[in-house]
């Protein structure tokens, strides 16, 4: 039998509200919001970005996961992978008995019609969904609406004969799912590009100044099967992983647009090039909020809180690092002491990384990160997958280092 799919929750929102509040609410964060996103304690002055933390899509995905566990207490419940990129949230779900199909020993082929499978906020590939449908599992789909919007555009590109050029990380769950949408059409094609450097090579090929050998050496693993750049880059449509840095996505789009114009002429642009803005509004709101915060005040440093494999958190850290010292931390324990901080290095761009290592970037330890005397001015923001309780605990721990020094 085909799978039963829940896409609008399981009518248990009120039943799990208390548990969600217990696991993720922060009274301190509410206090800071009520005080104009400003908090002072001892010699610490802290400004919180006015948009930060859980977005609607993440909040909905976590809510649905809790509802699923409540609705099916006696059945095996699985996630196809991390529900969102936050270790604290995924740990809570494991503690509730939710199993992860990405864990060793867990296999898609071992699922039965009695099992329940939660699809994460990033979505899953068309092939994975078809497999789960054949298995006859009960499915709870938490795919974010912003991601679904990108999928719609990519499918339309394929139907109209355009290759989808996706600005994203090829190993990321969302980008893999998005790319698979292009292949729902027999003639569909996709190409994933990571950054400006890779976009420049694509542009050079379009203009005829780069060889096929150069192109395929770089992109063979991140394009659709049988990709022929000579044919498949004649008509292209732009899309994005929804959590990328908006300024970079816009620049890449403009680069490719100009290359198309150089090759085919301005009058033929609409036949050869399409673009839709597919960065989600929550991602953009968080980027705009921290940019505004950094313009408005002077800070000793910024703390950016979120999972190390969270793309939107890493991009917030990139924005902060352009203005001054910035530390991307995953949890309160990263603040080891007033003299030692563990954090993920903030890179000016995101280098291609194998899937196996992306979530295991080595932390760096910085000594003497906190001014020893005098006022301490800190900007704080958090990625869209970071719950309020983690942000609150980081702030509380920071205060312990400044209240008595």
CA–CA distances in Å: residue 111 to residues 66, 78, 342: 20, 9, 39
* Rounded Cα gap, residues 269 and 258, in angstroms: 9
With CA atoms as reference, report the closest residue to 358 among 298, 295, 322, 310.
Answer: 310
* Radius of gyration for the chain, computed over Cα atoms and rounded to the nearest angstrom: 22
Distance between CA atoms of residues 188 and 157, nearest Å = 8
Output the DSSP codes for 235-255. Answer: SEEEEE-TTS-HHHHHHHHHH
Pairing of strands 116-119, 138-141: parallel
**What gap in Å lies between CA 66 and CA 93, rounded to an integer?**
8
> Which entry of 51, 174, 198, 248 is annotated as an active-site residue?
174
Yes or no: say if 65 and 89 are a contact pair by the CB < 8 Å rule: no
Judge whether 174 counts as a catalytic residue.
Answer: yes
The full DSSP string for 367-398 is ES-S-SSS-EEEEEEE-TT--HHHHHHHHHHH
Instruction: Give the dihedral sign, CA 401/44/370/383.
Output: positive
- The token duo for 234 is 């004649």
Q: 121 by DSSP, 3-state: which?
A: coil
Q: Cβ neighbours of residue 307 under 8 Å, at least 6 residues apart?
A: 84, 85, 86, 87, 313, 330, 359, 383, 385, 386
Q: Which uninterrupted H or E stretch holds 294?
A: helix 281-296
**161 CB contacts (<8 Å, ≥6 apart)?**
187, 235
Query: CA angle at residue 144 from 112 to 67, to 5 degrees?
Result: 55
Asked if 215 and 205 touch (Cβ cutoff 8 Å), the reply is: yes
> d(Cα 254, Cα 234) in Å, to the nearest integer?
16
Q: Which are the catalytic amino acids?
A: 174
């Amino acid at each position: 039998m085909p799978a039963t799919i829940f896409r609008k929750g399981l009518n248990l929102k009120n039943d799990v509200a208390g548990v969600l509040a217990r696991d993720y609410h922060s009274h301190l964060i509410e206090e800071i919001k009520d005080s104009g996103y400003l908090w002072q304690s001892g010699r610490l002055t802290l400004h919180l970005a006015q948009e930060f933390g859980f977005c609607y899509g993440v909040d909905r995905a976590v809510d649905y996961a809790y509802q699923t566990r409540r609705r099916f207490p006696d059945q095996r419940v699985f996630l196809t992978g991390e529900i969102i990129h936050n270790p604290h949230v995924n740990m809570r779900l494991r503690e509730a008995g939710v199993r992860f199909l990405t864990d060793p020993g867990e296999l898609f082929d071992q699922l039965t019609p009695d099992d329940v499978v939660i699809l994460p906020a990033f979505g899953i590939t068309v092939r994975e969904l078809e497999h789960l449908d054949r298995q006859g599992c009960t499915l709870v789909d938490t795919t974010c609406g912003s991601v679904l919007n990108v999928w719609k555009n990519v499918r339309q590109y394929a139907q109209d004969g355009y290759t989808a050029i996706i600005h994203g990380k090829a190993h990321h769950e969302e980008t893999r799912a998005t790319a698979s949408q292009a292949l729902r059409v027999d003639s569909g094609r996709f190409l994933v590009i990571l950054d400006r450097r890779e976009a420049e090579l694509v542009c050079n090929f379009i203009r005829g100044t780069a060889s096929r050998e150069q192109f395929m050496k770089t992109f063979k693993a991140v394009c659709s099967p049988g990709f022929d750049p000579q044919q498949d880059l004649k008509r292209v449509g732009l899309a994005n992983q929804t959590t990328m840095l908006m300024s970079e996505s816009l620049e890449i789009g403009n680069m490719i647009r100009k290359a198309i114009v150089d090759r085919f002429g301005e009058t033929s642009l609409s036949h050869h090039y399409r673009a839709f803005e597919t960065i989600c509004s929550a991602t953009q709101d968080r980027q705009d909020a921290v940019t505004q915060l950094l313009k408005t005040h002077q800070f000793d440093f910024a703390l950016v809180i979120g999972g190390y494999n969270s793309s939107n958190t890493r991009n917030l850290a990139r924005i902060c690092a352009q203005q001054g010292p910035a530390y991307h931390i995953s949890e309160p324990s990263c603040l080891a002491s007033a003299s030692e901080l563990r954090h993920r290095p903030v890179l000016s761009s995101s280098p291609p990384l194998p899937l196996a290592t992306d979530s295991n970037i080595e932390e760096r330890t910085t000594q003497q990160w906190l001014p020893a005397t005098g006022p301490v001015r800190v900007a704080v923001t958090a990625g869209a997958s970071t719950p309020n309780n983690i942000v609150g605990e980081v702030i509380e721990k920071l205060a312990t280092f400044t209240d008595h020094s």
